[in-house]
Structure formats: C-alpha cells, structure tokens
Structure 1
Amino acid sequence: MLQKNSGLALDVKALGEDGVIEGYASAFNVIDSYGEMVAPGAFKGSLASAKKEKRSIKMLLQHDSWQPIGVWDELAEDEKGLRVKGRLLIEVSPKAAETYGLVREGALDELSIGYREIETAPDRSQDGVTILKKLDLREVSIVTFGALGRAAHIDEIKSCLEAGKMPTLREFEGFLRDAGFSRSKAEAIAASAKQHLQGEPGGKAADDMRRFIERLRA
C-alpha cells in the first residue's frame, strides 16, 4: 500500500471537545513533492465500494496499522479535494486522547492518505508528472509532515486571485502556517489583513496580496 501526505492542514478551529475533527485528506490538481497529482474523481469508486461493502476507511496515526485512533464518519469529494470528518476516540484510546491534545496545540496538523493505485497516466502537458486517476483508498492518517504543504496553499491562494476571488481568512492563515509562522502569529497577521481579504479581487488589495505571497514564496 502506498502512502501520500496531502500536506493540507487539519481544520483545528473545527476541532470539538468531543474529538470531532475535519480537513482535506487530498487536494486535486496539485503537484506534490513526488511529482504526482490526484485527479478529481479519483476516490469516487473506492468510496462507493467501501459504502456498499460496509467497510470503513481507517483513521490511523502516522500510517501505523497498530495505532487506530478514531473513525471517519464522512468522506466526500468536492471541487477542492477529498474532505473528511471524523472522531478521535478520546474516551476509548489513550493514544487518541494524546493525538487530540497534539492536534489542538498544533504539534500535529496534517493528513495523509494510504491507498493502492488503480489507474495512473503521465501528464502530457508537464514532464515528469504522473496523474493519479483512480485510487483505492484504505486509510487516512493524522501525520506530522506532508508532501504538498506550502506549495498547496500558495497554489490555492494564487488560483483564487487569478479567478477573480480573494482567499478566505482560513486559507490565508493556512498559507502563513506553511510559510513558517506560528499559529498565533498567523492568526494575528490574517486578522490584520482581514480588510484586504474582503476587498475587491481586482483592486489594489489583490495586488498587495499577490506581492506578499510572492515574497514569501521566494
């Protein structure tokens, strides 16, 4: 079984006291550090089969099959990627309770998928890039490091600007975290930029945002 770190941050603000957690396990059309890109629809067949067979997609810690820490209640594709929502079983597993604390404090903040490749193809428009067209999803892990990380958030925000939109406050915070800022600093910077984020996409605010992103990217 292959493993791939999506590098997309867990939605810590949605972390409930009951252990409910959510985020993106995979992003579509983003090239990771392995030179691979997941295509929209890659998980649909696998998710349908799991539902039909009443087979769960496992929630693991660091891809360790000896460390199940919860259950995924919702897994679905949207325009961005594979969105997941589940529960850390903090009252059942000491490891889950420990993971909950680490996620809450930001020590663990990314997701990774474990899968088998069913159908792949070279990307003819980009040398050295493989498109993952169909995957058999087996598990989604909470992990320390991801393969997309900073590049994913940069691409998300640039795509927003190019499409005539401004990034959301949460997207901008995620980008700042991947750029190396602590959670508290990222939240403070994003809060101070809130006025710009709510400005006109084609105006000066968007130009300032684009220049800021490019400086961090360099």
Structure 2
Amino acid sequence: MQIETKFSKIEPDAVSEAGEFAGYATRFGIKDDGGDIVMAGAYAKSLGVRMPKMLWSHRGWEPIGIWTKAFEDNIGLRVEGKLALATTKGRETHELMKMGAVNGLSIGYITRKSDIRGNARLLQELDLHEVSVVTFPMQAEATIDAVKGVEDIISGAKSGDFVPLKRAVEGALRDAGFPAWLAKAQAALAPQALSDGSRDASASEIAKLIKDSFKI
C-alpha cells in the first residue's frame, strides 16, 4: 500500500534552546484541501504498536531526532520531541525552526480504514510511520527530490515505466498543499518532462523540469 503524507503547521517559537518542541501533527474533524478528514481514534492502534520516527522532509535515511511522546487528545494527534543537536542536520533544523523558516509537520502514513461521506474521505484508521519536520511553503522541486528512491523512480521512468513517477509527483504535490484533483492532473504531465533531451539528466534536474512543466 502507498504511504501518504499530510501537512500541519507548528508555531516558530515552539522549540527550546535544548531542541525540544511540540505541536499537532494532525487536527481531527477538519477537512483538508485534499478532501480528507482524520477522525478521532485513527492513530490509536498504530500508536499502541510503535512510536513514529522523526525525519527531515520524509527522508527515511535522514532522522533528525526522536519523538518522545505521541498521543491523541480532543484536538488531534499531539507530538513532543527532541532534535539531535549533536548532528549537523539536527542543528540546522533547530536554527531554522527558531528563525521561523521551518514551521511545519507532515505525517507519513498508510490508510487502513476509511469511508466516503459526500465529497469527503473519512480516515478512520491510519498506520503512522513517521512525522517529519518540513518547510512551508514547500517548493515542488525540493519535495520531488525528497521522495525516497527517487533515483529508482527516474530510472524506471527513463525505461518507460511512468507509474511510480506519477505517484511520487502526486504525493509531493499533495504534501505541498495542492488539492487531490489538481495534484493528480499535474502528475499526469510529469512524463512530458522526460523528453529525449533529458534522458541523461540528474534526478534534481529532472525534478526541476517536472516543476517547470506544471501548468498552474
């Protein structure tokens, strides 16, 4: 099953000098731009099994600290954590959070149970894998480059397999706040960026080509 992402803003003054901070990774009962509503209790089963990882921008190879607490309250999914200030990325994230340059949390999850009500998808049970600290607003280019396995995705696309590329672009745009319908429409344009002249381009160069091809 595909891992989805969802963004939530945190306040820039929420981080201490020791690198400790807290925020809501999700707020219950609020319909987002993608038409999803996370229901209370959606994380209960997952949190009973494991704590989510703290990553930088959904990069599985780049942990930046640990979540010390993750629990549901009457507002949403509350997380408390501590940045690893002994690491370069942990220190960089800490400084950017204090400046307000980084002020977002984004969850990485798999939907286990959902229902459709009107034009909304009710997320009733989610398997929470990680909660990332992310930049807001996100640039489509940077987000696409952050997708795990991007080199494999680009390699597959160069060979004619565009499905993983489309999924990656759609997920990146959803994480950046695009409505589901627009993210899907723009993802369909991604293969156009892989013209004959870009076959030897790097992943970041192709990501830029994809971003520039969006008709927004």
Q: TM (normalized to structure 2)?
A: 0.60
Q: Is the 8 A contact 1:5 1:145 kept in 2?
A: no
C-alpha distance in structure 1 between counterparts of 2:84 and 2:32, whole Å: 31
C-alpha distance in structure 1 between counterparts of 2:36 and 2:54, whole Å: 23
Q: SS of the residue aligned with 1:42?
A: coil
Q: Which residue of 2 aligns with 1:45?
A: 45
C-alpha distance in structure 2 between counterparts of 1:114 and 1:131, whole Å: 17
Q: Which residue of 1 aligns with 2:121?
A: 130
Alignment of 1:22-37 (within 5 A): 22-37=22-37
Shift of 1:143: 1.0
**1:59 equivalent in alignment to 2:54:** yes
Which string of whole-angstrom CA distances, capped at 9 and with x for unpartnered residues, describes residues 46-104 of structure 1? 00111xxxxx410001111111100000001001100000000011x101100111111
Q: How many residues are matched?
A: 137
Alignment of 1:101-180 (within 5 A): 101-123=95-117, 127-145=118-136
Q: Which residue of 2 aligns with 1:2?
A: 3
- Give the letter aligned to residue 61 of structure 1: W
- Give the letter aligned to residue 143 of structure 1: V
Q: SS of the residue aligned with 1:66?
A: coil
C-alpha distance in structure 1 between counterparts of 2:121 and 2:63, whole Å: 30
**1:15 equivalent in alignment to 2:6:** no
Q: Is the 8 A contact 1:8 1:146 kept in 2?
A: no
Shift of 1:31: 0.8
Q: Is the 8 A contact 1:36 1:131 kept in 2?
A: yes
C-alpha distance in structure 1 between counterparts of 2:108 and 2:56, whole Å: 11
**1:83 equivalent in alignment to 2:78:** yes
Shift of 1:13: 2.8
Q: Which residue of 2 aligns with 1:74?
A: 69
- Give the letter aligned to residue 19 of structure 1: G
**1:94 equivalent in alignment to 2:95:** no
C-alpha distance in structure 2 between counterparts of 1:19 and 1:60, whole Å: 14
C-alpha distance in structure 2 between counterparts of 1:136 and 1:79, whole Å: 20
Gaps of 5+ in 1: 51-55, 148-218
Q: SS of the residue aligned with 1:131?
A: strand
Q: Is the 8 A contact 1:112 1:146 kept in 2?
A: no
- Give the letter aligned to residue 9 of structure 1: I
C-alpha distance in structure 2 between counterparts of 1:107 and 1:30, whole Å: 25
C-alpha distance in structure 2 between counterparts of 1:146 and 1:105, whole Å: 15
When residues 3 and 144 of structure 1 are mapped into structure 2, their CA distance, relative to the original with a 3 A threshold, is farther
Q: SS of the residue aligned with 1:65?
A: coil
Q: TM (normalized to structure 1)?
A: 0.60
C-alpha distance in structure 2 between counterparts of 1:76 and 1:146, whole Å: 26
Identity of aligned residues (%): 38
